Amino acid sequence: MKQTVAFIGLGAMGWHMASHLPKTGLDVLVWNRTEAKAQQHASHFATQAVTIEQAVQADYIFSCLPTSADVEQLIQAHPPKAGSVWIDCTSGVPESAQKLSKQLQTIGVAYLDAPVSGQTIGAENGTLTVMVGGDALAFEQAKPVIQAFAGLIEHVGDSGSGFAVKAVNNTLMATHLWALAEGMTLLKSKGVDLASALSCINHSSGKSSMSENIMAQRVLNRGFNKTFALDLLQKDIGIAVDLIQQEQLQLPAMQMVQQQFTRIEKSKAQDLDFSAAVQSLEQMNRIELS
């Protein structure tokens, strides 16, 4: 019988990721909490909208939900079938990956933590970086399916390692954005033209993906176009800071970045793009980065 792959969570990332799965040649099932989105997906792509009960009967199941708690709840209510591989693309908590991996193993299911990086544009283009933790054999089995939306797939270690790499990556992203915004604030105060300054930085050693993409495309143009919610980045930094505490390390810059990125409270942050975090720096200094 033809194998099936299901995708659970057709949000900003999942919508695009699932759209590439028909390339695998498997039958592609999609499920979303708001059902209309799954119906819409099926009408745009070669996918089939199904019930959650049908989705968890697939041979490969992807999830891309906001948090590990959401995935845990879903798996608790709807356990997958024996022999399947659950590939969790949520940016989640390493401890939760270890717990789910052990729990699913008892019913014959392999669980991989496989968070992604590359923003919605990378999801749309099928060029995401996928950092995978978990059993090496399950990884080899799932790799050709993950390939459908990936530019790079790395097996980074045991269960939870993928989530740990993702949390560190996103904390670095936040650090780069904040440091760049501080530099831009200083330059604006000195009367330097920010577009020219940014051009120099992007041809110099201080550049980053934040200087090359986000500063011009979301901050200087005042668009703050939402593709990645600030509350999700706050969650990722929180995961990294929790790991620092568990490991009893002293990593002051990461902890400082958390303080700055949580100045905007969660209820507001969920409606904002992550780039809007620099607005609290603008308010502190009464200097707009434009």
Enumerate binding residues for ligand NDP (CB under 6 A): 9-14, 32-34, 37, 64-66, 70, 74, 90-91, 116-117, 119-120, 227-228, 232
CB atoms within 10 A of CB 81: 13
Q: How far is the CB of 108 from ligand NDP (least distance, A)?
A: 24
d(CA 112, CA 97): 8
Instruction: Please report how the helices 161-189 and 252-261 are oriented relative to each other, as an axis angle in degrees rounded to 10.
Output: 70
What is the set of active-site residues? 166
Q: How far is the CB of 284 from ligand NDP (least distance, A)?
A: 26
d(CA 54, CA 30): 9
Q: How far is the CB of 283 from ligand NDP (least distance, A)?
A: 25
Residue with tokens 């995935």: 71
Q: How far is the CB of 51 from ligand NDP (least distance, A)?
A: 13
| Lookup: tokens for 216 | 């011009």
Cβ atoms 56, 78 nearer than 8 A:
yes
Residue nearest to ligand NDP (CB): 11
* Complex with ligand NDP: residue 76 or 189, whichever CB lies closer: 76
d(CA 207, CA 199): 10
* Complex with ligand NDP: residue 66 or 183, whichever CB lies closer: 66
| Lookup: tokens for 204 | 């110099």
* Complex with ligand NDP: residue 84 or 90, whichever CB lies closer: 90
* Complex with ligand NDP: residue 18 or 104, whichever CB lies closer: 18
* Complex with ligand NDP: residue 185 or 275, whichever CB lies closer: 275
Q: Which long-range contacts (CB under 8 A, 24 or more apart) does 181-187 make?
A: 181/215, 181/219, 181/278, 181/281, 181/289, 182/281, 184/215, 184/219, 184/289, 185/281, 185/282, 185/285, 185/287, 185/289
Q: How far is the CB of 9 from ligand NDP (least distance, A)?
A: 4
